[in-house]
Structures are given as structure tokens and as C-alpha cells.
């Protein structure tokens, strides 16, 4: 899986218009059957049974400068949209194709290059995020003045860290791509190596120390659902992801972490289906409606809950979770601040 950065500043009127018309309002395929290749239309209908998808595109660039990057993109890859001094959208590439005519109909021509965004892709699992560039630079060790200037595939470690920080898991590609299965495996057919094993061991050891500090007895209370459970059913969960914390925050154990149960709360919080508002009220993501069984569970166990674990000291960490992890769908240009 490759992670791409897609510059798309909503301060530019044309980009904002394109975003509103093909991201906030998914494109209906049946309105463009005259320009869609039969195979592409068939693939889109299979991937998006509702007949609509969020679409974006990339220009060839001056002297075809973007083509080497474009050719790397395939279904299952992740794309981060950048602009307004932040990353504000992330999604999974569902399909890619080349169609200058459709791109011209949807988006016209870039007045700076006189090119259209003809290398098109459809997105799935789109989420709005709020990740300021200064935070990105610090976490990835970039130079203070570095920005995302053009459409680019990020270095493997940078891409992996970004997707981990926002808790994003790309949807598996629904369409087979030759060679895609092989690239995820090592030479012995596994996906883990010694570095992965050492990192997992370190994570578990630290999790154990934090849990001991938060849960000295045989049972404790889940900070989200409020149920009192045996310690085997509770984990020490970071409110703000550990990888995003500085040293002082990592040592702020009583505030940066909480107990969450393995009966659902830990996973729901980690993946952004629930969050905690200022004051302690649990907020449920509207995205959860796409998974009826999960929505039913949340309605039965978490609706109208207020966590006693919230405090003014912990609000900074819950605020980070709301802006970086909580699933809100694509943000409007007004919500993309900066």
C-alpha cells in the first residue's frame, strides 16, 4: 500500500468548487455514461452499488512531471488531501483510470497549466481530519519550512506513520491488481519482521505499565461505557495516540490514558467511531450507520453516556482525538480552518 499526498488548497476558488461538486457531492455515473469507458463504468458500478462516488484527478504536470507518481497509484492505496496549512481529508483509492474528456466536463482546465485533471481516481472510506502542517513536520522530522508542493507518493515510513496517527485503515482493494498481494509480504511469506516484533513487544510492555498505574486492583471501570469489569477485559488506551505525544505527554499517564473495555469501547474509540466532547458527553460518528450491527451495539450501550473520566486536564487530549481520529466524513470548506 502506497500513501499519496494530494495538494488541494481550498483557498483557491476553482479547487473549492471542484471539491464541493465531486467530493462533498459524489458524482452520479449515469450522468456521464457517454464519456465513461464500458469497463470503467462496470468497475464503478461494482465498487459503488449506489451509482455514485467521490472523484478526484491529477494533471499530467509540466513536461509530464506528475506521471511517474501517478503510475504508482492503484486500488487500495491511501490519499491525504493537503491545503490550508493542514491535511484535511484521507481516503482509499478504489479505482484509477485516464479520461481527459470526463475530467474536462467535471473540472474544466487549470488556468495555471492549461491542463485538465485527466488522471482520475475514485475514493472510498473518505474521512475529514484536521492535522496542521507544523504537527506533521514535527512528527515526521521534516524541515521547518517543508510543505507538500505537488502530487507525490510519500516515503514508506512517512506514509505508515501518518495513517497510524489518524487511525486510518485503507479499505482492501475490491478489484485485483497484479502483483499487489506479493508486495505486502516478505521473502518468507510473512508480513512481520524482527523490527515489527520488537516494536510490538515494547508497546505491550509499556501498555502493561500504564495499565498497572490506572488499575491497581482486580477490576476497574471503563472510561467510556462506565461498566465495571475484571481487569482482563480492560486495556490502557491512549486518548491521544502515543506516537503523536511528546515526552511530557507520554509521562502524563493519569491524563493522556484511560481504561477502555475490550467489549467494544477500545476499538470504537481507536477507530474514531466515538469520541468525547468537552464536558464528557460521548459523541457518536454518523459514519457508524454504514455498519448496522455496530450502530445497534453503540445505541444499546453508549447512547447518552457521559464519561466521569473527562476533566479539564484531559480535555487537550480528547480535543486531539476529536480533530484527528473522530470520523466526520468529508469536511466542508468552512470546516477546514487555517
What is the spatial distance between Cα 209 and Cα 149, in angstroms, rounded to a whole number?
42
Q: What is the pLDDT of residue 168?
A: 79
What is the spatial distance between Cα 150 and Cα 228, in angstroms, rounded to a whole number?
51
Q: What is the pLDDT of residue 191?
A: 44
What is the spatial distance between Cα 285 and Cα 265, in angstroms, rounded to a whole number?
13
Q: What is the pLDDT of residue 169?
A: 75
Helix 13-22, helix 100-107: angle, nearest 10: 110
Top-level CATH class of 3-168? alpha beta
Q: Which of 19, 79, 23 is nearest to 53 (CA)?
A: 23
What are the start-end ranges of the H helices in the chain? 13-22, 38-47, 67-70, 100-107, 133-140, 156-165, 180-183, 194-214, 247-251, 253-256, 265-270, 292-301, 315-324
Answer whether 80's CB lies under 8 Å from 168's CB: no
What is the spatial distance between Cα 121 and Cα 130, in angstroms, rounded to a whole number?
23
For the chain, the structural domain boundaries read 3-168, 194-324
Q: Which of 251, 77, 99 is nearest to 160 (CA)?
A: 77
Q: What is the pLDDT of residue 181?
A: 38
Q: What is the pLDDT of residue 5?
A: 94
Q: What is the pLDDT of residue 203?
A: 53
User: What's the average pLDDT block by block, 10 residues per block, for the chain (338 residues)?
Assistant: 93 95 97 96 96 97 94 95 93 97 97 94 92 87 85 90 79 54 38 47 60 87 94 92 89 93 93 94 89 88 92 96 88 81
Amino acid at each position: 500500500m502506497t500513501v499519496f499526498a494530494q495538494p488541494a488548497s481550498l483557498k483557491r476558488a476553482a479547487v473549492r468548487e471542484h471539491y464541493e461538486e465531486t467530493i462533498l457531492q459524489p458524482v452520479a455515473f449515469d450522468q456521464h455514461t457517454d464519456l465513461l469507458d464500458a469497463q470503467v463504468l462496470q468497475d464503478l458500478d461494482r465498487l459503488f452499488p449506489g451509482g455514485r462516488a467521490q472523484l478526484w484527478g491529477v494533471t499530467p504536470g509540466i513536461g509530464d512531471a506528475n506521471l511517474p507518481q501517478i503510475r504508482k497509484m492503484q486500488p487500495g492505496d491511501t490519499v491525504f488531501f493537503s491545503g490550508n496549512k493542514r491535511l484535511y481529508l484521507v481516503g482509499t483509492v478504489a479505482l484509477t483510470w485516464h479520461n481527459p474528456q470526463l475530467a474536462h466536463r467535471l473540472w474544466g482546465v487549470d488556468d495555471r497549466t492549461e491542463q485538465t485533471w485527466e488522471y482520475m481516481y475514485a475514493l472510498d472510506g473518505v474521512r475529514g481530519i484536521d492535522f496542521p502542517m507544523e504537527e506533521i513536520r514535527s512528527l515526521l522530522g521534516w524541515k521547518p519550512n517543508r510543505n507538500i508542493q505537488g502530487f507525490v507518493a510519500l516515503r514508506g515510513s512517512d506514509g505508515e506513520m501518518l495513517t497510524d496517527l489518524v487511525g486510518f485503515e485503507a479499505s482492501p482493494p475490491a478489484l485485483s491488481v497484479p502483483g499487489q498481494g506479493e508486495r505486502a509480504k516478505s521473502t518468507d511469506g510473512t508480513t512481520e519482521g524482527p523490527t515489527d516484533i520488537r516494536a510490538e513487544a515494547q508497546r505491550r510492555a509499556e501498555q502493561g505499565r500504564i495499565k498497572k498505574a490506572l488499575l491497581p486492583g482486580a477490576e476497574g471501570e471503563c472510561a467510556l461505557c462506565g461498566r465495571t469489569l475484571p481487569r482482563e477485559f480492560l486495556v490502557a488506551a491512549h486518548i491521544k495516540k502515543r506516537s503523536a505525544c511528546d515526552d511530557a505527554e507520554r509521562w502524563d499517564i493519569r491524563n493522556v490514558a484511560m481504561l477502555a473495555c475490550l467489549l467494544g469501547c477500545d476499538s470504537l474509540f481507536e477507530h474514531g467511531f466515538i469520541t468525547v466532547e468537552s464536558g464528557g458527553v460521548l459523541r457518536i460518528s454518523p459514519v457508524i450507520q454504514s455498519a448496522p450491527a455496530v450502530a445497534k451495539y453503540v445505541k444499546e450501550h453508549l447512547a447518552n453516556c457521559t464519561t466521569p473520566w473527562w476533566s479539564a486536564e484531559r480535555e487537550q487530549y480528547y480535543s486531539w482525538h476529536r480533530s484527528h481520529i473522530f470520523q466526520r466524513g468529508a469536511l466542508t470548506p468552512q470546516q477546514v480552518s487555517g
